[in-house]
Amino acid sequence: MITQKMKYALKAMLVLGDEAAQPHPEALTIEKIARRSDTPKRFLEQILLEIRNAGMVSSIRGRSGGYLLIKRPSDISISELLRLIDGPIAPLPCLSRRAYQRCEDCRDEASCRIRKVFAEIFWSYLILIESLTLEDMLRSEQVAEQVIGA
């Protein structure tokens, strides 16, 4: 399950992605992003700072400043964003590739039935989430709008 913070991050990135697709994209203020994404402004500042520090967006100071994507939507991995905002995505610490920790109550990982079951589920999830990009999410939103509007 993703956190509310991650949902806000995704909403903000979708707004920035929509803006990047415009003929003359402009930097968007926190206020514009909050309004377009229906997200509380006070949460967005910290979230966008984290995303900026990860090199996905840039911030411009001044009167016409704001945030804009500096990576193409096809180069923004949803799993990377998920790990940035929510931390490790594995359901058990012993399954995490980046934040591995042995479970304190486990005698033998090789014979742990809990680990085996969750590993199968997690690897299937991982294959899907690792392939998903911001571009995919933007495209799926556009397809949904076309179907609903038709």
95 is a domain residue? no
Q: What CATH number is associated with residue 64?
A: 1.10.10.10
Q: Where is average pLDDT lowest: 9-13, 46-50, 87-91?
A: 87-91
Residue 15 belongs to what domain range?
A: 1-76
91 against 50, higher pLDDT: 50
Distance, CA of 89 to CA of 98 (rounded, Å): 9
Distance, CA of 146 to CA of 150 (rounded, Å): 6
127 is a domain residue? no
139 is a domain residue? no
**Which residues are CB-neighbours of 61 under 8 A, at least 6 positions away?**
none
128 is a domain residue? no
pLDDT, the chain, mean: 89
11-20: pLDDT as tens digits: 999 999 999 9
109-133: pLDDT as tens digits: 888 888 888 888 998 888 999 999 9
Helical axes 4-20 vs 134-149, angle rounded to 10°:
80
CB 60 within 8 A of CB 70: no
Domain count, the chain: 1
Q: Read off the pLDDT band of 141 (50, 70, 90).
A: low
140 is a domain residue? no
Residue 100 tokens read as 């591995």
